[in-house]
Amino acid sequence: MLRTLAVTLALGLSTAGAAQQAAPASAPSPAPAASAASAAPALIYVHAGQLLDRPGAPPRGATTVIVRDGMVAELRDGFVAPPPGARLVDLSQRFVLPGLIDLHVHLWGIGGDPLRERLTRLNTDSADDLMTAVTNARRTLEAGFTTVRDLGGDPRGIRALRDAVERGDVAGPTIVNAGSMISVTGGHGDGGNGLAEEWADAVHAHQINVCDGPDDCRRAVRAQVGLGAQVIKFAATGGVLSNVAGGLGRAMTPEEMRAIVETAHALGRKATAHSHAADGTRAALEAGVDSIEHGSYLDDEAIRLFKARGAYLVPTEIAPLAALAQARAGALPPAAIPKAEAAAAALHASHRKAWAAGVKFAFGTDSGVSRHGDNATEFAHLVDLGMTPAQAIRSATVAAAELLGRDDLGVIAPGKRADLIAVAGSPLADVRRLEKVAFVMHRGVVAKAE
Ligand SMILES: [Zn+2]
């Protein structure tokens, strides 16, 4: 009951919710009688008209991709007829590439419609939110994104969704989950911001993702790991959508950031920082984060630190544009409007400079701010920053897999996961072709076909 209350009162902000101490890292679920994965034919021959097997390198011509038990077994030149009992997937008129990876989504919540979210919040339960998350996951998969990093939502709900996808019970992308974003009191991830007193009290009594001081922030990391988090996200600075007029400046101390990153790394998790202001980004990079989300304001020193530390920038170009449109339409609280304007004005120019300077980019959209399923509209903005279409695709495959630390994703090669998508025509000539994905295979299971 308390959990439902806290989640209901959070008014759209992520909240840890749980009153009790954390459950085991991945609460086990009963095994399904037959998963979608096990129901799929064990052997599939995919005829690809063109195949971008290793984004960054030139595509191959006609190729047969042989998929066995959800993994790529072999690539052969030309179209090879399948043996008896094997299934043929005919993409001979299509351009085939690895399943896309979005490193920044929020599957929890309505997504892209903050006014509706606020109006319905008091009449929806955590169970309703989970149903919405299931729909968001399916939309994301059908848009060609076979792996996502969920960077903030109900930790138990997203963990359950992650495991249901993994079992093959629910159609969705593979989820790498952060649980709730770690934040200081009054910061971007404090679910009590701007709420009336009795509701703020209820949220503050139960949220475990808010911390003040290094020791408390170590506790907060451990609490998210205890709830099943596979990556740790923290708010180094203020954020656009939180209902607090604190601006986009640094919110956490360097000591707090170091404590978070050290604890995450010691527990085998990567750490990523939500950060807008340059001093927040610099402090997070000095603390050793693996990536920065947004990075709206980047000065020369921040860019130097990115390169020196080998950290990635996750650009989320479409997020401030979506937030600004919502703010101007009156869908966001007044505190968010100047922040949306400031972030939208700064982000593109900062990223243009960072890309030209050689900073590593890994694809992420912050979908949930924008609508789920529109993730691929990010690509055109990346090309506008100065990337070639090939480089933009590489950021959402090879580079994203590198940042995740997953060597089974991002390319189509023997021994890798059979995550692949197809479009009509080459996205290397027009990257917006990725906005209309014709075919999706996730772990060897066809999730979308024409
Ligand atoms: Zn986000």
pLDDT for 341 equals 82
How far does the centroid of ligand 1 lie from the alpha carbon of residue 437, in Å? 24
How far does the centroid of ligand 1 lie from the alpha carbon of residue 240, in Å? 10
Q: What is the mean pLDDT of residues 132-160?
A: 97
pLDDT for 240 equals 75
Chain position carrying tokens 């169970």: 127
How far does the centroid of ligand 1 lie from the alpha carbon of residue 151, in Å? 6
The pLDDT of residue 422 is above 60: yes
pLDDT band at 1 (very low <50, low <70, confident <90, very high): very low
More confident residue, 306 or 342: 306
pLDDT for 329 equals 83
CA dist 433 → 95, 151, 291, 377 (Å): 10, 27, 28, 10
How far does the centroid of ligand 1 lie from the alpha carbon of residue 366, in Å? 5
How far does the centroid of ligand 1 lie from the alpha carbon of residue 150, in Å? 8
Q: Which residues surround ligand 1, an ion (CB under 5 A)?
A: 366
pLDDT for 28 equals 40
How far does the centroid of ligand 1 lie from the alpha carbon of residue 160, in Å? 20
More confident residue, 218 or 25: 218
Closest by alpha carbon to 49, among 88, 97, 92, 79?
Answer: 92
Closest by alpha carbon to 437, among 144, 65, 101?
Answer: 144
pLDDT band at 330 (very low <50, low <70, confident <90, very high): confident
How far does the centroid of ligand 1 lie from the alpha carbon of residue 321, in Å? 13
Torsion angles phi and psi, residue 342, rounded to 5: -65, -45
How far does the centroid of ligand 1 lie from the alpha carbon of residue 152, in Å? 7
The pLDDT of residue 6 is above 70: no
pLDDT in tens, 211-246: 999 999 999 999 999 999 999 999 999 887 666 556
In whole numbers, what is the pLDDT of the chain averaged over residues? 89
pLDDT in tens, 30-75: 444 334 444 555 899 999 999 999 999 999 999 999 999 999 999 9
pLDDT in tens, 106-121: 999 877 777 788 788 7
How far does the centroid of ligand 1 lie from the alpha carbon of residue 1, in Å? 27
Q: CA 311, 317, 320 angle in degrees (round to 5)?
A: 120
Structural contact between residues 438 and 450, judged by C-beta atoms closer than 8 angstroms: yes
How far does the centroid of ligand 1 lie from the alpha carbon of residue 323, in Å? 11
Please tell me the total number of residues recorded for the chain in this structure.
450
How far does the centroid of ligand 1 lie from the alpha carbon of residue 374, in Å? 15
How far does the centroid of ligand 1 lie from the alpha carbon of residue 380, in Å? 20
pLDDT for 340 equals 80
How far does the centroid of ligand 1 lie from the alpha carbon of residue 364, in Å? 9
pLDDT for 101 equals 98
How far does the centroid of ligand 1 lie from the alpha carbon of residue 104, in Å? 6
The one-character DSSP state at 372 is T
Share of the chain above pLDDT 90, in %: 72
Amino acid at 237: T
How far does the centroid of ligand 1 lie from the alpha carbon of residue 37, in Å? 30
pLDDT in tens, 372-415: 999 999 999 999 999 999 999 999 999 999 999 999 999 999 99
pLDDT in tens, 158-209: 999 999 999 999 999 999 999 999 999 988 888 888 888 888 888 888 889 9
Rg of the chain taking only CA atoms, in angstroms: 21
